[in-house]
Amino acid sequence: MSGNNERGGGGGNSKRRRQPQKKQSQRNAAKPTDSGAQRFWGDPEPRNAATTSIRPTPDPGALVRSLGNPPLSPAATHQLAVVYEEAVRAATALAAANGLLDTDEPL
């Protein structure tokens, strides 16, 4: 007996290679054109949305103050106010850079 050759050629001389099996997650992955993906990511076609002007708030901390004092030290209230003001400055700069800043005087 000569071993592997008599059993059907299972030796190392086989020129045919096995294709790697795909993982279960790769086979079931959603395609980008899938309706579920469209619902998640939205319509790929750009729409002409009505642009609105942005007017910066004169009091950045008003909403947070309406919730009451934060359960932190008294100094935290001032520090949070500084963060809110900086967030308004950044948003105003982004709006101005994109031409969305309302330049009219408030009514």
pLDDT attached to residue 36: 75
In this predicted model, which residue has the larger pLDDT, 40 or 100?
Answer: 100
Mean pLDDT of the region 2-30: 56
Residue from 47, 52, 81 nearest 64 by CA: 81
Give the pLDDT confidence of 18-68 residue by residue, as tens digits.
666 655 555 555 454 556 777 777 777 766 666 678 899 999 999 888 998
Give the pLDDT of residue 34: 58
Tell whether the model's pLDDT for residue 1 goes beyond 60.
no
- Report how far residue 52's alpha carbon sits from residue 99's, in angstroms, rounded to the nearest whole number: 10
Cα gap 35→98, rounded to integer Å: 32
| Domain definitions of the chain by residue range | 69-102
**Mean pLDDT of the chain, nearest integer:** 75
Rg (Cα) of the chain, in Å, rounded? 31
Q: What is the pLDDT of residue 95?
A: 92
